[in-house]
Structure 1
Amino acid sequence: MKKAAIAWVAVADGPAVGLWCVPLDGALYVASGPGEQAAPGLAEASTATVTLRGDHGGRIVTWRAEVRRVEPGSQLWTEAAPLVAAKRLNAPGSAAELVERWAAECVLSRLVPVDAPLAAGATLPDDSLAEPPRPTGAVRRPRNPFRLHRVRRR
């Protein structure tokens, strides 16, 4: 977990969503909300399922997590939020400005492992677990290519 940069997080029976995260003190921290990544249901959830992948791209562990919202102004917030903000790539503004924006508009969630892993090592499934792409409004029909002249068919 200490090398994780992306975690696949599933809340309740929903699909797993790839989220940018920061490992810190035995937990994963995830920032979500306006201007950050979308983490459907995570802010309201009390538990989630987390899957991490290794350097080779394959799944290495899946575990159940207790989800806790880190409240702005708390001791945990003053310790963790600046460290998480410092790891945020391509952030608009400084880490201090990012922490202020998170306090006003976003949610910082702390995912702490509960019990033993659900799957790791020999208990990992052998099949790919690939799923068909989810429907999205981002898909559109591509335009036909532009042609300067008429193409004759034989």
Structure 2
Amino acid sequence: MKSGDSRTAAFSLVELVLALGIVAFCLFAVFGLMPVGMQTNRNATSQTAATNIIAAIVADLRTTPAAATTSPQFAITFGTDKTLYFDVSGQASISLSPDSRYQLNIKWNSAPTGLHYADLKVTWPAPVDPATTTPSGSVEILAAFDRN
């Protein structure tokens, strides 16, 4: 009969508790960072959508013929301030609806004849009035349009 030392073939209880403590600490750290990562992802997605909305508006205004005063796609009149609302799929509306996610405010600045400057600002969520309440996020640009 062979008598062996069983202590060399196993971990001690102290080693197991220490390993479980380290694993638990790492899991808590990872789970603690998940909400931050999800919020960052949500913000990045909203900023990308807002930038795409502005790009579509600018493209619409730039492709408007010089003889026309209103843009063909979004019916924006040059020189007249306008507010549009967009849902998550990018569909525009002139009125706030339950599906509205983004609010676009266009403010025109006075400029010499033939040259128009527009301040385009997209804010979200759409029901928040950016003049009275700070929105969750916003994207703003100044665009120039040569109408000669």
**TM-score normalized by the length of structure 2:** 0.25
Structure ranking higher in strand proportion: 1
Q: Which has the higher contact order (CA 8 A, sep 6+)?
A: 1
Structure ranking higher in helix proportion: 2
